[in-house]
Amino acid sequence: MKISVVIPTMNEEESIGDVMDEINEALSGRDYEVLIVDTESTDKTREIARSKGAKVVEEPRRGYGRAYKTGFEEAEGDIIVTLDADCTYPASKIPSLVVMIEKEGYEFITTDRLSNISSDVMGWTHRFGNWLLKTTMNLLFRTNLNDSQSGMWVFKSSALRHLNLTSDGMPLSEEIKIEAIKKGLKVDEVPIEYRERKGEAKIRSLKDGFKNLAFLWKKRFGLV
Closest CA to 95 of 163, 42, 23: 23
Q: Could you give the domains of the chain?
A: 3-220 (3.90.550.10)
pLDDT profile of the chain (224 residues), mean per 10: 97 97 98 98 98 98 97 98 97 98 97 90 89 98 98 98 97 98 98 86 76 97 94
pTM of the model as a whole: 0.95
Q: Provide the pLDDT for residue 120.
A: 83
